[in-house]
Amino acid sequence: MKLFPQGVVLAVVVALFAGCGSSKPVRSAAAVTDCLNGARFLVSNHGNQVAGSTQTGLAFTLTVRTGRPSSISTAGDPKGARLSRGARRVVAACLRKHGPQPGTLTAPAAR
């Protein structure tokens, strides 16, 4: 006596295997944006650009690059300020965890 039709069993097996490999995290500017917003930054992304402000209100733009280090700019800040070491650490951590490889950051040294 058959409990399940053969087609139903096959559909379940295919559905289970379709999920395999999809657990790999998406590494993109959008994922970096989500990480930064979770760290209380206020940012949005457009393509490979992440723009917004830190928790203290410092405006910055992060250019997320694949295969090369990403870069950060605070040129949009009227006072010409740079990211604090703490803010830079948060950006670098989000980039390492969620950005495309190599997941590194180049920029002028923090104050």
Q: What is the pLDDT of residue 60?
A: 92
23-62, pLDDT tens digit by residue? 556 789 999 999 999 999 999 999 999 999 999 999 999 9
Contact criterion met (CB below 8 Å) for 37 and 109: no
Sequence spans of domains, the chain: 24-106
Cβ 71 vs Cβ 49: under 8 Å:
no
Q: Supply the pLDDT for residue 91.
A: 93
- pLDDT score at 47: 92
pTM: predicted TM-score of the whole model, two decimal places: 0.71
